Structure 1
């Protein structure tokens, strides 16, 4: 069973104490706060043959089968490849599972994550199962961006906002996960993950601090004309595209805030202070607003799994960024 997360305790007690459950839940909130863990705990509880007040017993046949990932009455649906869409034929397989009789005589449980990864045809194929699930079936949809779901999907689920951890809770949890890591590095990793501790852990495992250093150094070289946009776009191949867009969106916002406030305050992003101060002086608000519009539009395309040429996209971004300092 998934580990309990401290900031989920109140919600978990509420869910675990229910005598009757909805046929479909939509667990939503920012990425990296433990929604998948919550869904897995709820799945274990719903399938357990001897549930307790605190959750699944962990000892019965159903719990043992689930732990071994061989429980016949559970179904996990997620993209077949990272950052790809959930396709209609995958949902049709899920629909076939929902129409079957539970082999252990209890509930059937489906876990679908992320729900917004379903393309339009896949989402429409799921609607009937959401509206009229067969037998004792419970569907658990996990969404990082519920605004991207069809209204008809959301209306057929009991929507449950998942609690956000406080900064202190996040840092305490990260200290338990990464005891060998310096406190300052844990704080930096959490800041780079927008305060989401599980994202911070995942990015740490991917080497986020080294990625950030590579990107920041590249930007400094760009403004000194020591590297070209095309060279940097090729060199950043190992940095997640969405992470790059998040950083550039944040930096553009900081520059614009400096310009609007008329002073350099609360810059954040300590590794980029000098660059952002320089660009706040050299660029105009209209340039920043235009760049922000471009960033947000293309970030949505990245989120929507559009078929984009990564190198050309980053090169276009860096050409515009260099233009803020008067060099393109």
Structure 2
């Protein structure tokens, strides 16, 4: 389990205080920066039988057990009900919207694990990969465990959004904020030419998200979609057919960012997201700006509703209809 380059320093600093660890640690930061990967590197280092400079040796039996998610002193909770890394968890959520929370039964099942001593005479660790996905009953059940933690038990919570956690849980955890990687670190991670890497980062935000888009093969659809989107007098059916070939999460994000690019082009004469796509950029000064802002509001609201059951075709077409009118205003009235 290789530690991400931008995590080595904070992980080493954290582990240098292993003799004074809190009973609960909350790791937080933007989605896609590798918080879950950081957490597994932390867990592996704490359970390692022969750490090197505070970090895991990657060779002992304990390190192999953690890498296989089979260490007897490690319990993992996540919304999928199994063990995944942050990249894989994001991919699974894009495919399956049925599991969106961690329920109270999963937390209650920790009981036997917490009451039995560590088998390797060290820490027993509970890792909650998406602590901000705990439903209210699960959060209250966890709070009881945090209030009276058994000796040598460490709770590691990972969250994108602290505001979704109970204030009482926040008050019982030591917080560690992880930063996003800088441009150099991101380019080195992606292992592609710098200009290409920077273009991907403009769209997807982080190197982990960019890598996932490349590995899933969806990135190659982005250029085709935006080219069709900006074709004068494009038809709804044609757009809808192509859009339905794209995972809904990606399609909505790309479309929302294209809308924001048009708005920024209107006010600032600059695009911030799809900077690499050679499309027929309209004379944005002629756009009906209030219609464009209304469309942006619709797209933003749709992104907030992605966790709920949706009929993709209906959603896609309902959000494309406003664009058809804008398309005609932009491209047919020079």
TM-score, reference length from structure 2: 0.82
Alpha-carbon distance in 2 for matches of 1:254, 1:242: 18
Aligned mates of 1:244, 1:111 — CA distance in 2: 32
Give the structure 2 partner of residue 290 of structure 1.
294
CA contact (8 A) 2:183 2:198 kept: no
Give the match for residue 192 of structure 1.
Answer: 203
Q: Does 1:213 align with 2:238?
A: no
Equivalent position SS for 1:248: helix
Tell me whether 52-61 or 151-160 shows the greater mean CA deviation. 52-61
SS at match of 2:40: helix
- Closer, same or farther in 2 for the Cα pair 1:326/1:25, shift >3 Å? same
Q: CA RMSD in A?
A: 2.6
Unaligned 5+ segments in structure 1 are 176-180
Match of 1:237 among 241, 244, 249: 244
**Residue of structure 1 aligned with 2:116, choices 92, 97, 100:** 100
Counterparts of 2:247 and 2:171 in 1: how far apart (Å)? 33
Distance 1:9 1:121 in 2: 36
- Gaps spanning 5+ residues in structure 2: where? 82-91, 94-98, 330-334
Query: Aligned residue for 1:48?
Result: 48
What residue is the counterpart of 1:21 in the other structure? 21
Distance 2:15 2:35 in 1: 15
1:68-87: per-residue Cα shift (whole Å, max 9, x none)?
43211111222227322133
C-alpha distance in 2 between matches for 1:316 and 1:64: 49
Q: Distance in 1 between matches of 2:252 and 2:128?
A: 26
* Runs of 4+ more than 4 Å apart: 181-184, 271-276
Q: Which residue of 2 aligns with 1:115?
A: 131
What is the aligned partner in structure 2 of residue 85 from structure 1? 100
Task: Give the length in aligned residue pairs.
Answer: 312
Distance in 1 (alpha carbons) for counterparts of 2:22 and 2:101:
24
Could you say if the C-alpha distance between residues 118 and 236 of structure 1 is closer, same or farther in structure 2, counting changes exceeding 3 Å? farther
Aligned to 1:178: none
Report the Cα distance in structure 2 between the residues aligned to 1:49 and 1:192, rounded to whole angstroms: 42
Q: Say if 1:169 and 1:45 are closer, same or farther in 2 by CA, change over 3 A.
A: same
Distance 2:248 2:162 in 1: 21
Within 2, Cα distance between the matches of 1:96 and 1:284? 62
Q: Which residue of 2 aligns with 1:254?
A: 261
TM-score between the two structures when normalised by the length of structure 1: 0.83
Structure 1 residue 319: deviation in Å?
Answer: 1.2
Q: 2-side partners of 1:277 and 1:69: how far apart? A: 52
Aligned twin of 1:162:
178
Secondary structure in structure 2 of the residue aligned to 1:27: strand
In the alignment, the residues of structure 2 paired with residue 275 and residue 152 of structure 1 have an alpha-carbon distance, to the nearest angstrom, of 52
- 8 Å CA contact retained: 1:46, 1:109: no
Aligned to 2:190: 174
Q: Evaluate the alpha carbon distance shift between residue 313 and residue 282 of structure 1 in structure 2; reply closer, same or farther with a 3 A threshold.
A: farther
Q: Distance in 1 between matches of 2:68 and 2:273?
A: 45
Q: 1:25-82 CA distances to partner (integer Å, 9 max, x unpaired)?
A: 2211222222122101110122224434331234444334324432111112222273
Question: What is the alpha-carbon distance in structure 1 between the residues aligned to residue 322 and residue 249 of structure 2?
Answer: 18
Match of 2:145 in 1: 129
Equivalent pair of 1:251/1:276 in contact (CA under 8 Å): no
Gap change, CA 1:16 and 1:253, over 3 Å in 2: same
Name the counterpart of 2:332: none
